Structure 1
Amino acid sequence: MRAIEFRRYGGYEELRLVDRPAEQAKDGRALIELSHAEVSPADNTIRAGRMAASLHKSPPLVPGGGAVGTVVDPGGTGLAEGTRVVVAGGGLGWLVDGTWREQLTADAAQLMPIPDGVGDEAACALFAGAGFSAAYLVLTQLIDFAPGHTVLAPGVGGSVGMGTAQVARELGASLVISTASRTDKAVQARAAGYRHVIDLSRESLPEGVARLTEGRGVDVVVDGVAGPLLGPAIASLAHGGSYVGVGYSGGTEGTVNITDLIWKNAKAYGYTFTMIPRDVARAARKTLLEWLRDGRLDPAIARIFPLEQAAEAQRHLIEDRPFGRVLLATHAKRVQ
């Protein structure tokens, strides 16, 4: 089978197409033929050698934390042959080889059937970058979010920004605000239905939030950008508000005015999926797939690359910062 792996840390060029032995269903694991795999910032962080070595398997490593595909041999999972599934969990792309390949084996806990009426691309995009899942779990499990609260989710084109904007709306937020770094992206986002997008090339984040909230600030910030937006995002909180750091597409360091936390009686959290029990996270994925089936969510896809162009797919996500998810089609016949 074809796969993408890197054998040493470095740039995008370290991602190489290789041929690996085909796998077989055994030990209670199903064999899955993959159709699409997600491309996420975490893949880039690991490949570049910027993540603590204790948190992931050393190279050689196949990237990819999630994918969708079809069960071709159920093994002992109890799933029927031909079932379309989302594949996730089990340390894919971190502790074990991930999803940037044509097939893999997985246990039942890693597989979630895809509802009829949901396409493979949409299901893969829903979980790419984990933005929709993170938003749902943060708002329902981590903080005291309630219908009527206001939410700021910077980076409308990214997985966390887009996912939070849509999930917060479905959970009853009275106002959801996001940002765009460029005017063209702000225009694109508004045309896609995101009404309150601050164009950061024309207005600062605190100024935009003050304008949209009549000076009050927001109850919740779910931040997948951080970097230079970290301080301004915290400064945009209302009194008693909560800041949750989910990602760092804008950088891992930022400057915070400590009085924005103290005087506002604010709360700050860091979030990872390891904070959430597995059964709760699985239930969240099931709910999100049902919302997708019912047309309540729309995970935009920016571009789908063939597997052999994985290096360019990673570069496009990280450097071009597109509006929507980037996916890999693991079989040439499925490339769009």
Structure 2
Amino acid sequence: MKAIQISDFGGYDTLRLVDLPAPAPAAGKILVRMRLAGVNPLDDTVRSGALPSARQLPLVPGTGGVGEIVDNGGVEGLEVGTNVVVAGRGYGMFRDGTWQEYLLAEVQDLIPLPGGLDLQDVAAFTTGVGYLTGYLALTELASFKPGQTVLAPGIGGAVGLGTVEVANRLGASLAISTASRTDKAERARAEGHEVIDLSQESLRDGVARLTGGRGVDVVVDGVGGWFTGEALASLASEGTLVSVGYSGGKQASINVTDVIWRSARIQGFMFTLFSAQTLTEANATLFQYLAEGAFHPTIARSFPLQDAGEATRHLIEDRPYGRVVLEVPGA
């Protein structure tokens, strides 16, 4: 079978197309034929060698994707031909991931899809786990209540768009995102989102304008870097900032009075904070929202599997509006 494999940490050219033996069916395991695989910032972190806990090389990247069951290993309730999301912990980091034609998965790592969902929509929805991140950050960590206001920067990214749409579905009175370019801001506004164009005004000014000077109750920060300090200064009294990522940098500078005088709370985010049951229930809720039309995930561009290096570069350097996915070739 065809697969992308890393044999050395380094640049995009370390993502090489190789031929590997296809996994054999096994009792109690689910053999999945991958169709679409997401390209995420975490994949880039692994490839560069910046994640020290990643499995020893060689490694097939890919932290998630969508496929079809071709052998159910005798497991009841998972029929051959069922479309599934691969969403288990550790794929592409501690074990071979989804950037390959076939994957032998544990039952608990799969989410069977409701009928009628388009696989492209599902791939856009799950890539980057932005919707799941936003939902857990709001409901489990920030104690979000309907009527509160939310800021989630980076409308073109998974967490930015996902959190804004989740917040709206949960009853936020206002859900704000940001864009680094006017074209992204205009596109997001045309889709009905409230966006601060950071090329035209500062974050603090934009939040003050949109909230009447009050600030926001919750920030779900997937940017980090310079943004974190500005976001803290944009919180309302007793607001919460949930730090979920660092696409804008790992070092942040803050004014401690923004924490003290606002009685602000800063909370870190990792999926290991949540039980398997919590994750299962969250995913079930989110797929219900997707099926009812509450979410509008976007694919910016699809690449063939052999172009995984260029797909990763496009995601990291071009910062497109929407998700980047790999089309996994047929057998």
Return the letter of the residue paired with 1:257. N
Return the letter of the residue paired with 1:11. G
1:33-72 mapped onto 2 (5 Å cutoff): 33-51=33-51, 53=52, 55-72=53-70
Does residue 1:250 correspond to 2:248, yes or no?
yes
SS, match of residue 219 in structure 1: strand
Paired with 1:76 and 1:198, the residues of 2 have a C-alpha distance of 52
Matched-pair contact (CA < 8 Å) for 1:88–1:111: yes
Identity value in percent: 53
Paired with 1:89 and 1:255, the residues of 2 have a C-alpha distance of 34
Matched-pair contact (CA < 8 Å) for 2:36–2:67: yes
Paired with 1:48 and 1:160, the residues of 2 have a C-alpha distance of 22
Q: Which residues of structure 1 form unaligned runs of 5+?
A: none
Paired with 2:89 and 2:176, the residues of 1 have a C-alpha distance of 34
Paired with 1:94 and 1:278, the residues of 2 have a C-alpha distance of 19
Q: Which residues of structure 2 form unaligned runs of 5+?
A: none
SS, match of residue 313 in structure 1: helix
What whole-Å deviation, never above 9, does each CA across 1:157-210 have from its counterpart, x for those lacking one?
00000000000000000001100001111111111221x100001101011000
SS, match of residue 302 in structure 1: strand
Task: Pick from 277, 283, 288 the counterpart of residue 279 of structure 1.
Answer: 277
> Which residue of structure 2 aligns with residue 323 of structure 1?
321
What whole-Å deviation, never above 9, does each CA across 1:226-273 have from its counterpart, x for those lacking one?
112111011110010000001111111121111111110000011010
Return the letter of the residue paired with 1:278. A
Paired with 1:242 and 1:99, the residues of 2 have a C-alpha distance of 35
> Which residue of structure 1 aligns with residue 293 of structure 2?
295
**Normalization by structure 2: what TM-score?**
0.98
> Which residue of structure 1 aligns with residue 11 of structure 2?
11
Return the letter of the residue paired with 1:328. L
Paired with 1:286 and 1:305, the residues of 2 have a C-alpha distance of 29
Paired with 2:192 and 2:72, the residues of 1 have a C-alpha distance of 41
Paired with 1:3 and 1:163, the residues of 2 have a C-alpha distance of 29
Structure 1 range deviating more: 118-127 or 159-168: 118-127
Paired with 1:90 and 1:155, the residues of 2 have a C-alpha distance of 25
> Which residue of structure 1 aligns with residue 24 of structure 2?
24
Paired with 1:15 and 1:193, the residues of 2 have a C-alpha distance of 38
Does residue 1:127 correspond to 2:126, yes or no?
yes
Matched-pair contact (CA < 8 Å) for 2:64–2:126: yes
> Which residue of structure 1 aligns with residue 88 of structure 2?
89
Return the letter of the residue paired with 1:290. Q
Cα displacement (A) at 1:332: 6.1
Q: RMSD across aligned C-alpha pairs, in angstroms? A: 1.1
**Normalization by structure 1: what TM-score?**
0.96
Cα displacement (A) at 1:279: 1.2
Cα displacement (A) at 1:22: 0.7
Return the letter of the residue paired with 1:214. G
SS, match of residue 197 in structure 1: strand
Paired with 1:332 and 1:210, the residues of 2 have a C-alpha distance of 52
Paired with 2:310 and 2:36, the residues of 1 have a C-alpha distance of 16
Cα displacement (A) at 1:77: 2.9
1:226-237 mapped onto 2 (5 Å cutoff): 226-237=224-235
Residues paired across the two proteins, number: 330
Task: Pick from 210, 219, 222 the counterpart of residue 217 of structure 2.
Answer: 219
Return the letter of the residue paired with 1:32. V
Paired with 2:118 and 2:287, the residues of 1 have a C-alpha distance of 11
Paired with 1:230 and 1:59, the residues of 2 have a C-alpha distance of 34
Cα displacement (A) at 1:120: 1.1
Cα displacement (A) at 1:42: 0.3
Matched-pair contact (CA < 8 Å) for 1:306–1:332: no
> Which residue of structure 1 aligns with residue 157 of structure 2?
158
Structure 1 runs of 4+ off > 3 angstroms?
none
SS, match of residue 286 in structure 2: helix
SS, match of residue 32 in structure 1: strand
SS, match of residue 126 in structure 1: helix
Matched-pair contact (CA < 8 Å) for 2:2–2:329: no
Paired with 1:125 and 1:25, the residues of 2 have a C-alpha distance of 28
Matched-pair contact (CA < 8 Å) for 2:101–2:330: no
SS, match of residue 145 in structure 1: coil
